[in-house]
Structure 1
């Protein structure tokens, strides 16, 4: 035996102490020179594999974002090579620990182009473009990736001009560079420039085509995106799954059924039948084309349904106003243990909003909270809208405050929600906070602010906002904004000024502007301005039922019954029908709808008994029916009876019979609430000691303790 083998015998003997005797003798007996030589080669192997072992362990910690453990492993490596240094630097940068990444980068004994590029990208990922550019300038040798990385950073910051200069200054450009510039153009809304660059490209790959198709689609040119897709296929370029998804997205947006069917055929031919993301896009495409049966069939055929596929079906039903089905799909998804994401929750909440079902909305809010997604931007925005539209603005504002990262939609949703509920000062406070957070308002912000001022009688505030947005050019004023301003002036009784504004718009006023003015005339009983506004409407829209009804109601309020008869005769002659007033209340997932004087409901007898009882209590409190809202030429007693059985009162009586005492109830109405019913429900809320919320076509009214949140101004 060699000296080394002789030295190993005591070691082997020591191990035998821990073995059964029969095995230990066998081990010593078989410890031949050959066996020991094999052991030696094994030890040498371990020594040579130290680098790969460290690399594996380091990679494991970095993947699990255990940076401190990774650093301990890194510090134990005797002489880490440039690849290990780069791994550690990238780990720090990816976890936004940029200062530590830079320190380690500067400690490196040797830096290759990969390490430089990694550090530059890390700076960009952490939002430090200045440091990234500084490192780029210090690089001893740059390759095309170095240039492309900086160019991408400029594009991400929206500095398209600088990126252009960088692009044309590059000593060499590969296809990835061209693709990055095309993508950057499209991301910054310069799709025409992207098309010119695409045409100038020396060579295209499938990524080039996909980037251009996606860019056209995202910039409102879905029809051109489909033309480009067809051209790509005709040139023999095989689309990837991403290309197919982009093509389907374009077809879905413009409901191009034939083009989408062709893409569906390509999916079969190219073997993407099992790709869940492609199939999710197919489900969305068929849903957008109103082909929900085909969408469900596709969904049913997918073997392994992930959350993206479930969300596609759920959103499809919501898009087609089949909200009951959407909620059913959401519940089925939960039963199959598929965890919903922010988009699933958003779609489900939007369907709750469509159903005006606060109970289901609260259920989904609870699920979102358990998943830690209630503060997510998209989910939070949907919660604000859902609570606001279901009549619970306080809960909506609470949800708004909890959103972790508010975007413009968050702020607008809160402002519009406050406006709908007549909380004008709240809307102004939210707007002030929005400006403090340096969020730029848009056209929806101004609409919400003007609406808030309109419902709260804040004429001077409205004038200030209108002038502020006009002078600062924060957004382009549209016909909707002018209509809102006419509405503010009209509601505040400034009918002459409102009419003057309608006639002096930079564009010709449409029927919506004149209808707003006509509605204000109804509020203030001004027949002169009303007749002029109605004349303008009939010239623009001869069959406007709303104009006929408003004018007829004005004449009825003034007891000009001959004019009422004339308007009705005109409506009959033109075949114009009045939209019937209806009110409804949702309880336990069921919607109960009522028309004025309706006796078709199974509980009609009890409802009318309740109304009669309330009628007695109302008179005890001094309530006298306001007969100007009885719009028929009939006897006084008949008018009072007609007022007593308006649809909103029937819905309120039904709600009182079928909800817990002391609980808040919400009634919805498709038209503006009757003024007499408004007065009566104020007192009913006091009689039954409950809060009654009524949403009409204009706003929400919160009745409690004999008063309304609108302050009798709506």
Structure 2
């Protein structure tokens, strides 16, 4: 089909007439078909060899300027099949499938390449049924057509249809076999992939790489490494992709010796300067706790690839070096290497480990400037950061701004709300999650039970436990039973909680019994406490938390002889009590306090502030609750011991070190005692500040004499 669009038509027709006339007026009495064919070829060649068209056309397609590419295409008088195919491929890559199909229908001649491109374009645009229709209409299907369709079916999870098509193939090359192997792994069919690989008539390095990568991605890193060694013994030369897969598997095991050997292969084969291999090597050494080796790999050349920098940031964070991780992140920015989602996630995780929400906010602002403020992976890390350090409102704001939320987004915000005592909001978010079609998992279940536990929603908790136990969408584990025991125990249903423990479908572990023992302390139930403690000591004789909880329950009941007996048991078994400590991160430095601690440089000011607070508290009617002074001493000593608990020292430090009216955030490794909880409510009112205290159980937000937990924790 000849086409002369636009203002070029008259000029081209004139040229055509002159040359055609020349052909007719040659020495032959009849027009020469050979001459006419040569003329047509000359015209096509002359136009297509013009760099102003060919280069411009390719450049527009390469830069996704599809409409401009089409304008150039329309100016070419004799577009051949190759140019049609390029234009169709350009439309498909830009998700303009209707335009691609229309142009495909207009093609005067179609070859196998154009048909295959159209099938692939439909698959890339998510139109499996359209791809199948074109495939079945295609005359003279070749092995590429069959393989493309099989790959598409696997991509959409249609494994059975892919198998049928594979067995119908008239001839199969190694690419077709590889496509099936890769498809099986993509759909979690590991055994089918292994079986198919074993019967392949011939395989290439891509076959081996697909197997090694597939096994690694499906949690079988040891098998992947065994196969890699077998491949090396078979004489195949690994590609850089093969080595990346093998290194990733070595990092997960971890297998330091084998990974070092792979490093040697990388150098030997000349792949050393491959950026992705450098990133994989850094990750491998970091996972094997060889941070110095990771740094050495990084320093051997100047990297501009974001993956290499991100690997080092992540490596430092994984090895308990968050300060170094953030330093690398800053250097990366200074050198103009723009961070991606993974870079921000690793940097935010480092901020979490440093307990530095201020640094996290700085990273958040950079993410917003780079257009990643609504990214789901960055957003998920921010929700965890803000929730973990007492700012659930900012965590919820981040959640609301995330464009496409995934299950991690929903779980993170539900868990955050649960920890901060926003049980009703957690349940509301769960309802929204269900409405938008996100399927809950075992972490969602844990978050919901935690929300019910911290907010005293007994019936809701029972309802969720019954629903998820019967739904069988995932396995209900000991952790979920522990949460349910906590729900029942906090609501005073200790006998029902104990019955649940004894009727579990599997043997209860110490964590489940500890949840029951903790509830016994709240409700001073010695009988259930002693039975729970007995089971814990049988399962885990060195569990310090059980000894401490039982001792505290006896102390609260003034049974000092039993307190002494438990402490003697601890000493005999070599069990050491974890000391209660509280800490504050201020201007990048962590200040930690133990009960009665006088080692801090500002101790004199801190104790003066505490003495002033004691006077003011008494003026407000505060009377110390001496049952929380867990030593058999005089009443005056008990009062003094309570006044100098670690969380009160940390709060007093903040009062003398921060501007008036600013919020205070304190972390504590153990559960806050009832007396401190009562006094901090009044302290917040006296000093006119919001105080956030995170203990081992939850967050408490104190303001104007009230706590967010409603005195229920």
TM-score (norm: length of structure 1): 0.93
Task: State the 1:679 CA deviation.
Answer: 0.8
Aligned pairs (5 A) from 1:338-417: 338-417=337-416
Tell me, yes or no, if structure 1 residue 215 matches structure 2 residue 199.
Answer: no
8 A contact 1:582–1:647 mirrored in 2: yes
8 A Cα contact 2:60 2:68, kept in partner: yes
Q: Which residue of 2 aligns with 1:241?
A: 240
Per-residue deviation, 1:53: 4.1
In structure 1, C-alpha distance between the alignment counterparts of 2:73 and 2:389, rounded to whole Å: 57
Aligned 8 A contact 1:55 1:84 in 2: no
**Equivalent in the alignment of 1:478:** 477
C-alpha change, 1:287 and 1:542, in structure 2 (3 Å) is: same
Q: What's 2:335 paired with?
A: 336
The correspondence of residues 206-605 of structure 1 with structure 2, limited to 5 A, is 206-605=205-604
Where 1:663 maps in the other structure, the secondary structure is: coil
Report the Cα distance in structure 2 between the residues aligned to 1:264 and 1:677, rounded to whole angstroms. 56
How many angstroms apart in 2 are the aligned matches of 1:45 and 1:414?
Answer: 63
Aligned pairs, number: 672
Query: 65-74 or 379-388, which moves further after superposition?
Result: 65-74
Q: What value does the CA root-mean-square deviation take over the aligned residues?
A: 1.4
**For 1:667-686, what aligned pairs fall within 5 Å after superposition?**
667-686=666-685
446-455 vs 94-103, greater mean Cα deviation: 94-103
Q: Give, in whole Å, the separation in 2 of the partners of 1:339 and 1:297.
A: 22
* Aligned pairs (5 A) from 1:184-195: 184-195=183-194
Moved over 6 A (4+): 43-46
Instruction: With the length of structure 2 as denominator, give the TM-score of the two structures.
Output: 0.93
* Alignment match, 1:177: 176
Distance in 2 between residues matched to 1:164 and 1:469, nearest whole Å = 35
Counterparts of 2:510 and 2:483, CA distance in 1: 13
The superposition leaves residues 17-69 of structure 1 with CA deviations (integer Å, 9 ceiling, x where unpaired) of xxxxxxxxxxxxxxxxxxxxxxxxxx999944456642321211111111221
* Aligned-partner Cα distance in 2 for 1:334–1:448: 36
Which is further off, 49-58 or 496-505?
A: 49-58
Render the CA deviation track for 1:556-599: whole Å, top value 9, x for unaligned: 00010000011011111111010000000001110000000000
Shift of 1:304: 3.0
Residue in 1 that maps onto 2:33: none
Task: Spell out, residue by residue over 1:199-241, the C-alpha distance to the aligned partner (whole angstroms, 9 max, x if none).
Answer: 1111111111011001111111101111000010011111111
Contact 2:44 2:78 (C-alpha < 8 Å) held by counterparts = no
Name the structure 1 match of 2:10. Answer: none
Per-residue deviation, residues 279-330 of structure 1 (Å, max 9, x unmatched) = 1111111110111111112211123342111111110011112111111111
Alignment partners' CA distance in 1, 2:537 and 2:182: 50
Against the structure 1 CA distance between its residues 103 and 44, is the aligned structure 2 distance closer, same or farther, given a 3 Å change threshold? closer
Query: What are the Cα deviations for residues 612-667 of structure 1, in whole angstroms up to 9, with x where unaligned?
Result: 11111111111111111100001111101100000000111111222222222210
SS at match of 2:577: coil
What is the alpha-carbon distance in structure 1 between the residues aligned to residue 278 and residue 676 of structure 2? 52
Offset from partner CA, 1:437-493 (integer Å, 9 cap, x none): 111111111011111111111111111111111222221111111111111111111
Query: d(CA) in 1 for partners of 2:150 and 2:587?
Result: 57
Partners of 1:665 and 1:693 within 8 A in 2: yes
Partner of 1:108: 107
SS in 1 for 2:667: strand
| CA distance in 2: counterparts of 1:660 and 1:182, whole angstroms | 64
Equivalence for 1:98: 97
Distance 1:188 1:304 in 2: 35
Q: Is the 8 A contact 1:630 1:643 kept in 2?
A: yes
Residue number in structure 1 paired with 2:53:
54
Greater displacement, 90-99 / 46-55: 46-55
For 2:226 and 2:342, the matched residues in 1 are separated by 30
Aligned partners of 2:607, 2:645: CA distance in 1, in Å? 11
